[in-house]
Amino acid sequence: MIRKLIGLLLIVGALLGLKELHRYWEQVKTQQAAKDRQNGGSPALSAPAPTAADGMPALAPGLEASLREAKGQSPAALKLWIEKHRPYVPDPRLASIELDYVVLIGGRNYLEAKKIFNAVKQRTPTNSPVYSRIQQLEKNYP
């Protein structure tokens, strides 16, 4: 009986340790992605210095093409694109892409759209090129 109890405690302890390790790993990945975005990310995928006609940083040609493709497919494809390329897209452009996603899913998944909208709103300064768009969408996601 005691052996079984000790075995059970060891298994529970191992599972809790693995859960904590996983949580730590996710935190490290998030910090690394933020650091990469701040430092410009990978030289091959990071955005070049020129800006697009809308005043936002231009994307690398490969990213621009894949973004157009993802937008043409579905909201789920755009969400996957954002998750995959987030570290390589500078923020005013990233905010604009995320707002595109919010508009696409607003009617289907209001709670997720509101969550993403609020995250974009919190990190966007008032002098950003996307701030006027945030103000337009704000009435839909109070």
Which two three-digit tokens encode residue 107?
């009617």
Number of CB atoms found within 10 A of residue 34's CB:
12
Number of CB atoms found within 10 A of residue 17's CB:
10
Position 47 scores a pLDDT of 42
Residues 89, 47: contact at Cβ < 8 Å? yes
Q: Which residues neighbour 49 within 8 Å (Cβ) at sequence distance 6 or greater?
A: 57
Domain boundaries, the chain: 1-39, 44-138
Dist. CA 15–CA 12, nearest whole Å: 5
Per-residue confidence in pLDDT tens, the chain, 142 aa:
888 889 898 998 888 888 888 888 888 777 777 666 665 544 444 444 455 556 677 787 778 888 888 888 989 999 999 999 888 888 888 999 999 999 998 889 889 999 999 999 999 888 888 898 999 988 888 7
